Amino acid sequence: MDNNDLSFHGKVLYTGIEKCPPVCGRDSLHVIEILYNDPAFGDLILYSNQCDYCGYRRVDIHYLNSRGGLSG
Q: How far is the CB of 17 from Zn ion (least distance, A)?
A: 11
DSSP-derived pairing of the beta strands 29-38 and 57-63: unpaired
The string of DSSP letters for 46-65 reads: EEEEEETTT--EEEEEEES-
Q: What is the C-alpha to C-alpha distance for residues 32 and 16, in angstroms, rounded to an integer?
A: 7
Among the candidate windows 3-11, 30-38, 42-50, 56-64, which touches Zn ion by CB under 5 A? 56-64
Binding of Zn ion by 24 (CB under 5 A): yes
Q: How far is the CB of 57 from Zn ion (least distance, A)?
A: 10
Q: Which residues bind Zn ion (CB under 5 A)?
A: 20, 23-24, 51, 53-54, 56
